Amino acid sequence: MKLLRILFPLALLVLSSAASAQSEAQKTFDSLRTLAGDWEGPVTVTPPMPGMGDDGKANLHVSIRVTSRGHAIVHELQEAGTPLDPAKYDHPVTLLYVDGDKLNLVHYCDAGNRPHMVAHTATDGKTVEFVFADMSGGNEYGHMNHSVFTFVDADHHVEDWIYMMPGDKPVHAHFELRRVK
């Protein structure tokens, strides 16, 4: 009986910690859901790559929508002004969802692989960082490795994506996005 008096409060502490972690992941997910809509803005790529944001024009369109009864977020990228034709144009899709106490991101890449990242929320509450966890599919052409979403205001947010080229050479893409719908 004495053992139960010790174990029961300990079990409650463990369960409340898990619930707290889960609610943090859900809270962050709920913040990301506010980004639902259409966004456009310039892309800056470092190191510079020909044809990828080197002109400073609004050349990226991002569509973010909530789906699956509010349990998933679909994030789709495409070059602004191009028709929605994923067979012809780059059109990566990213899915965000909560699983247990973790906010997950799976990037369905044009390179043919699916990197999985897990979120870490910054203490400022305005930044969500996704760190590489694992990957499905090949790595012949490289893979998406890191992502950061930064909330500016209701009509502006910033995204930073790190792509690891073959040989572990990072390419950083910086999107400054404004809401268009």
pLDDT given at position 54: 56
Enumerate the H helices of the chain as residue ranges: 2-33
Residue 167: count other Cβ atoms within 10 Å of its Cβ: 6
Q: Which residues, 6+ apart, have CB-to-CB distance to 84 below 8 Å?
A: 78, 91
As given in the structure block, the two tokens for residue 53 are: 């944001």
In sign, the C-alpha dihedral spanning 124, 130, 159, 93 is: negative
**Which regions in the chain score pLDDT beneath 70?**
1-22, 50-58, 86, 88-89
| DSSP-based three-state secondary structure for 160 | strand
pLDDT recorded at residue 151: 97
Name the CA radius of gyration of the chain, rounded. Answer: 19
- Give the count of domains, the chain: 1
Structure tokens at 90: 């780059």
CATH number at residue 122: 2.40.128.20
Position 174 scores a pLDDT of: 96
Which positions ≥6 away from 30 have C-beta within 8 Å? none
pLDDT per residue as tens digits for the range 90-119: 789 999 999 999 999 999 998 999 999 999
Q: What is the Cα–Cα distance from 63 to 78, expressed in whole angstroms?
A: 9
pLDDT of residue 63: 96
pTM (2 d.p.)? 0.83
Sequence-distant (6+) residues with CB within 8 A of 92 are 76, 77, 107, 108, 109, 110, 144
- Specify whether the CB–CB gap between 75 and 93 falls below 8 A: yes
pLDDT at 14: 44
The C-alpha atoms of residue 117 and residue 153 are separated, in whole angstroms, by 25
pLDDT given for residue 13 in this prediction = 43
Domain that holds residue 36: 2-179
